[in-house]
């Protein structure tokens, strides 16, 4: 009896919810449709416009989209584009890169390099402060760099960026040498002495990279495990501060840092960031006026390439076919490799399939990356096209190769990524190769990124679509990939001449930048005479950028965007 | 009743343990490592980093350590978000997903039940076919299609609602509508089928003969009986709605758990994957228990306390 009553009550309750929710839903509907009906669409547009204006009125405020959350703001722990982007905007190292990617003064005002290029003495400015008022001193750099390579920290980029560059960095990381032995010392509060492991001509630009930022020891230790997990547990010394941020936040702001030593140069008051991953949503937000910059995915390029705000910015990542000489004996034959590297139409690939502003790559070092010392000419332009699409030459090499091998057909596997664009690209490449090279059968294997890395490490592939982005401003970041038994070679390429040229560039020629570049030219040439890899394209990003954004520079490495010199065009 | 619940809770814990074990070992089979710069580090350097996360230990030891942490309610520190406890991530991300899911569930079910009722009452009539068509469309068209359409029409074209992002109640309207289509259609289909059957059964004829009013028949006798199958599907559906939809969250740029979960799998963020899996599993099992208890309340024939079961 009791239970029956309960059941009735429940049924009644459900019914009530039905009614209440129903009327609630109704009134909302009417409300919203009222605004829609009574006021015309025009009014709504006005409302939106007013809203955006209200936010920006009288202020230099920008609204931009970020592709994802910021996984880490800890300079020692950051490994990704977004971490380095916001570390770069909120912190300052010894130097900062300007519009032309030339290092300009940051915390350091100048430096002296010893004759042998092994000891760098930096003079620091005395007026730089942390956002808690403490001065930024040489001790902050010593602490941060030691922390980056200390095995207790477990940093990935610390040993990667500093190993082989700063004296004892690798040894400290493996625990063979105490952390105090790292080649960085504070002579006094404002003089930093760095001893290198090898002469490193690009060290100046390297110091602008996130991993090399200073850290305030007292603050970091006080925060302990909470350090860099939210705005409150961060200290800033850069042009902006990061506000309203926690590690999983999907919205945050860069706000002008009034205590930055060069605050008068910084014009933008605030840059709001929101995380949006869906490309069509990004574009709609741009059209709505909620954001001032939105990326365009390749499927949307056709629709927006005529938009007046459409901008293509080249990036410095290069993509190529890795040709594994160890698994398939046909690929150990230089003629076969030469044939493959010439047998696919790259123009059609970048224009029809990628369709996002990417450009054809005919060499390893990307365009607009490294200027040749003295002449200032771009490395790519100076080195020229080393491997182009040429079916006739390809066929010639192919037939010669088949003769040498004594076969008339070859099977091989093409390994590539499994994103939508990659799959189409892989199919296109396979089709081009088997069409242009009679007797070649290509089977496709599209796998997720992590799995591709595993297959790369175990050299379990024939051809692989792979890419590389630079970690410092020097051609060596690309050329060192193919040194015999190098950690990323993983395709069995070995040429003693190539190795010798690069070895020379890092040792005897290390202080002679002009001669180093001569070696780099020579090495790149050898690489393509051997047809070690088949260059495909250099990536670019297509975006809608509001004309009101001015002076935002895109860096070839490190923080993607440089906002220090940015301004908001008030005319817009 | 208390004994029954205690027994069920024990089963729940065992189930959770099995899920934790299975997902732990499945996760270890994912290709790759949680390192982000894997390709840039030597084996030795990788080992130093992995050491910090306890990933160099043999897998059985990792498993024991993991269970030990779990028993103490410690889900660990995320690999992807440095120094961030998994519980913080779950808390941060659960909110928007739960809100959207709850809104979609309530609105969707209510509208669905009404549609189903209307259809059943006008059995084989025009309204019946209309609501059946709505239900079929709702279950067969994926919700991201609706989401894209809604965003295009209501936000981009007519500018009635914000295109995307999270914040005010207004922001939640379009995603809620996109999400509620499925529960609505499901509820409508179930209620209609059941109601048609119930309304045709003998006891309804008896009730009519006794002179019970038509609303009385529909709501008191009909709907209550039709609720049973609905309760069965609503429970699990509630969980799947509240644990977030990756697609909807991505389209409307909502910082929810569904999207986060997929992301964690992509970057091998083991602690976050485990934490999220367990949270989802616990929610699911809990809801099933609640559903079972609800049966008894709605349908006296399935009474548990009687011990007959």
Cβ atoms within 10 Å, residue A197: 17
Which of A173, A227, A250 faces B255 most closely, judged by CB atoms?
A: A250
Query: Rg for chain A (alpha carbons), in Å?
Result: 28
Tell me the sheet residues that pair with A446: A416
Given this structure, which CATH class describes domain A81-238? alpha beta
Q: Which residues of A touch B298 (CB under 8 A)?
A: 7, 10-11
Domain range list for chain A:
81-238, 316-540
pLDDT of residue A9: 44
Subunit contact A278:B93, Cβ cutoff 8 A: no
Which of A4, A69, A229 faces B300 most closely, judged by CB atoms?
A: A4
**Among candidates A188, A192, A185, which has minimal Cα distance to A168?**
A185
Subunit contact A163:B31, Cβ cutoff 8 A: no
Token digits for A7? 């059941």
Subunit contact B39:A456, Cβ cutoff 8 A: yes
* Angle between helices B2-28 and B59-71 in degrees, nearest 10: 150
| Best to test chain B binding among A247, A317, A481 (most B CBs inside 10 Å) | A247
What DSSP letter does each residue of A146-204 carry, written as one string? Answer: HHHH-TTTT-SHHHHHHTTTBTTHHHHHHTSS-GGGSSEEEEETTEEEEEBSS--TTHH
How many residues are listed for chain A in this entry? 572
CA torsion sign for B23, B25, B26, B31 is positive
The b-or-e profile of A329-339 (16+ CB within 10 A means b, else e) is ebbebbbbbbb
Averaged pLDDT of chain B:
83
How far apart are alpha carbons A11 and B292 in whole angstroms? 16
How far apart are alpha carbons A527 and B305 in whole angstroms? 80
Q: Which residues of A touch B82 (CB under 8 A)?
A: 71-72, 74, 77-78, 228-229, 247
For chains A and B, what is the number of CB pairs under 8 angstroms?
Answer: 197
| Best to test chain B binding among A281, A299, A477 (most B CBs inside 10 Å) | A281
Subunit contact B159:A155, Cβ cutoff 8 A: no
How far apart are alpha carbons B164 and B172 in whole angstroms? 9
pLDDT tens, chain A, 572 aa long = 344 444 444 444 444 444 334 333 333 333 333 333 333 333 433 344 444 444 444 478 999 999 888 988 999 988 888 899 999 999 999 999 988 888 999 999 999 999 888 999 999 999 999 999 999 999 999 999 999 999 888 888 898 899 889 999 999 998 899 999 999 999 999 999 999 998 888 899 999 999 999 999 999 999 998 899 999 999 999 999 999 998 888 899 999 999 999 999 999 999 999 998 888 889 989 988 889 999 888 888 888 888 999 998 888 999 999 999 999 999 999 999 999 999 999 999 998 888 888 999 999 999 988 888 888 889 999 999 999 999 999 999 999 999 999 998 999 999 998 887 888 999 999 999 999 999 999 999 998 887 888 888 889 999 999 999 888 889 999 999 999 988 788 999 999 999 999 999 888 888 888 999 999 999 999 999 999 999 999 999 899 999 999 899 988 888 889 999 999 987 54
Subunit contact A288:B38, Cβ cutoff 8 A: no
pLDDT at B245 over 60: yes
pLDDT of residue B304: 55
Tell me the sheet residues that pair with A542: A296, A312
Subunit contact B161:A32, Cβ cutoff 8 A: yes
Subunit contact B298:A11, Cβ cutoff 8 A: yes
Subunit contact B37:A157, Cβ cutoff 8 A: yes
pLDDT of residue A26: 36
pLDDT of residue B297: 74
Subunit contact A288:B159, Cβ cutoff 8 A: yes
Give me the mean pLDDT over the B137-148 stretch.
84
Q: pLDDT tens digits, residue range B33-75?
A: 777 777 777 777 888 888 877 888 888 888 888 888 888 878 8
Subunit contact B32:A246, Cβ cutoff 8 A: no
**Longest CA span, chain A:** 99
pTM of the predicted model, to two decimals? 0.81
Subunit contact A7:B53, Cβ cutoff 8 A: no
| Best to test chain B binding among A14, A252, A483 (most B CBs inside 10 Å) | A14
Distance from CA of B251 to the nearest CA of A (A): 5
Helices assigned H by DSSP within chain B: 2-28, 43-52, 59-71, 86-121, 126-140, 143-150, 169-199, 202-210, 214-215, 224-242, 246-251, 257-266, 270-298
Confidence of residue B303 (pLDDT cuts 50, 70, 90): low
Q: Which domains does chain B have, with CATH numbers?
A: 86-261+291-298 (1.10.3720.10)
Distance from CA of A277 to the nearest CA of B (A): 6
Given this structure, which CATH class describes domain A316-540? alpha beta
Does ipTM surpass 0.90 in this model? no
Q: Which residues of A touch B301 (CB under 8 A)?
A: none
Nearest chain A residue to B52 by CA distance is A154
Which of A160, A225, A276 faces B40 most closely, judged by CB atoms?
A: A160
How far apart are alpha carbons B38 and A156 in whole angstroms? 8
């Amino acid at each position: 009896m009791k239970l029956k009553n309960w059941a009735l009550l429940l049924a009644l309750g459900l019914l009530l919810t039905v009614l209440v929710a129903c009327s609630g839903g109704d009134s909302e509907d009417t409300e919203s449709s009222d605004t829609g009906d009574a006021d015309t669409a025009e009014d709504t547009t006005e409302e939106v416009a007013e809203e955006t204006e209200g936010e920006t009125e009288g202020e230099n405020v920008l609204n931009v989209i970020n592709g994802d959350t910021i996984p880490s703001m800890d300079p020692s722990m950051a490994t990704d584009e977004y971490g380095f982007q916001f570390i770069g905007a909120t912190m300052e190292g010894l130097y900062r890169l300007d519009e032309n990617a030339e290092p300009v003064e940051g915390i350091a005002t100048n430096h002296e390099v010893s004759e042998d290029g092994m000891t760098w003495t930096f003079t620091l400015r005395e007026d730089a402060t942390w956002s808690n008022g403490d001065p930024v001193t040489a001790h902050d750099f010593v602490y941060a760099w030691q922390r980056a390579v200390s095995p207790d920290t477990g940093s990935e980029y610390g040993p990667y960026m500093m190993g082989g560059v700063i004296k004892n960095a690798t040894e400290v990381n493996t625990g063979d040498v105490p952390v105090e032995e790292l080649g960085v010392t504070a002579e006094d509060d404002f003089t930093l002495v760095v001893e290198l492991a090898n002469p490193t001509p690009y060290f100046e630009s390297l110091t602008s990279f996130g991993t090399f930022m200073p850290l305030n020891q007292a603050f970091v230790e006080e925060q302990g495990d909470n350090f860099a997990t939210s705005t409150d547990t961060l200290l800033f010394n850069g042009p902006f501060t990061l506000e309203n941020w926690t590690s999983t936040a999907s919205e945050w702001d860069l706000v002008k840092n009034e205590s930055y030593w060069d605050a008068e140069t910084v014009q933008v008051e605030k840059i709001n960031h929101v995380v949006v991953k869906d490309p069509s949503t990004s574009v709609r937000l741009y059209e709505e006026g909620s954001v001032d910059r939105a990326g365009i995915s390749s499927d949307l390029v056709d629709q927006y390439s005529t938009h007046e705000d459409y901008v293509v910015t080249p990036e410095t990542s290069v993509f190529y076919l890795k040709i594994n000489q160890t698994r398939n004996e046909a690929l150990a034959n230089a003629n076969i490799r030469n044939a493959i590297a010439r047998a696919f139409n790259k123009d059609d690939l970048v224009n029809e399939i990628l369709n996002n502003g990417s450009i054809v790559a005919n060499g390893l070092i990307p365009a607009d990356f490294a200027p040749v010392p003295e002449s200032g000419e771009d490395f790519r332009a100076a080195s020229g096209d080393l491997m182009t699409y040429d079916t006739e030459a390809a066929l010639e090499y192919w037939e010669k190769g088949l003769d040498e091998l004594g076969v008339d057909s070859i099977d091989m596997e093409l390994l590539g990524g499994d994103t939508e664009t990659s799959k189409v690209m892989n199919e296109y490449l396979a089709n081009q190769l088997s069409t242009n090279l009679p007797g070649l059968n290509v089977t496709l294997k599209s796998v997720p990124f992590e799995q591709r890395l595993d297959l790369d490490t175990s050299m379990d592939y024939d051809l692989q679509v792979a890419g590389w982005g630079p970690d410092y401003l020097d051609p060596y970041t690309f050329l060192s990939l193919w040194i015999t038994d190098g950690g990323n070679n993983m395709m069995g390429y070995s040429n003693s001449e190539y190795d010798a040229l690069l070895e020379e560039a890092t040792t005897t020629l290390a202080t002679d930048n002009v001669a180093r570049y001569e070696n780099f030219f020579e090495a790149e040439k050898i690489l393509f005479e051997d047809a070690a890899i088949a260059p495909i394209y250099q990536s670019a990003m297509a975006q809608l950028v509001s004309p009101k954004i001015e002076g935002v520079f895109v860096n070839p490495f490190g923080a993607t965007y440089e906002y220090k010199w940015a301004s908001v065009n008030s005319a817009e | 009743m208390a004994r029954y619940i205690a027994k069920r809770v024990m089963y729940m814990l065992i189930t959770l343990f099995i899920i934790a074990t299975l997902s732990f070992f499945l996760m270890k089979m994912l290709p790759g490592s949680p390192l982000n710069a894997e390709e840039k580090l030597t084996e030795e350097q990788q080992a130093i980093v992995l050491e910090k996360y306890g990933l160099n230990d043999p897998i059985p030891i990792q498993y024991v350590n993991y269970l030990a942490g779990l028993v103490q309610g410690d889900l660990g520190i995320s690999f992807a978000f440095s120094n961030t406890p998994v519980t913080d991530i779950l808390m941060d991300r659960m909110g928007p997903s739960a809100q959207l899911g709850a809104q979609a569930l309530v609105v969707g079910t209510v509208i669905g039940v009404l549609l189903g009722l209307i259809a059943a009452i006008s059995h084989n009539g025009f309204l019946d076919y209309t609501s059946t068509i709505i239900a079929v469309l709702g279950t067969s068209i994926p919700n991201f299609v609706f989401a894209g359409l809604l965003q295009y029409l209501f936000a981009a074209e007519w500018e009635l609602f914000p295109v995307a992002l999270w914040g005010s109640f207004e922001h939640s309207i379009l995603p809620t509508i996109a999400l509620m289509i499925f529960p609505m259609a499901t509820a409508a289909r179930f209620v209609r089928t059941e109601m048609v059957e119930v309304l045709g059964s003998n006891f309804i004829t008896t009730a009519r003969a006794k002179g019970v009013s038509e609303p009385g028949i529909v709501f008191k006798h009909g709907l209550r009986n039709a609720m049973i199958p609905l309760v069965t599907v609503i429970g699990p559906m509630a969980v799947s709605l509240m644990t977030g939809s990756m697609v909807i969250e991505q389209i409307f740029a909502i910082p929810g758990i569904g999207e986060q979960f997929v992301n964690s799998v992509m970057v091998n963020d083991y602690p976050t994957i485990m934490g999220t899996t367990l949270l989802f599993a616990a929610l699911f099992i809990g809801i099933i228990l609640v559903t079972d208890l609800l049966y008894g309340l709605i349908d006296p024939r399935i009474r548990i306390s009687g011990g007959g079961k």
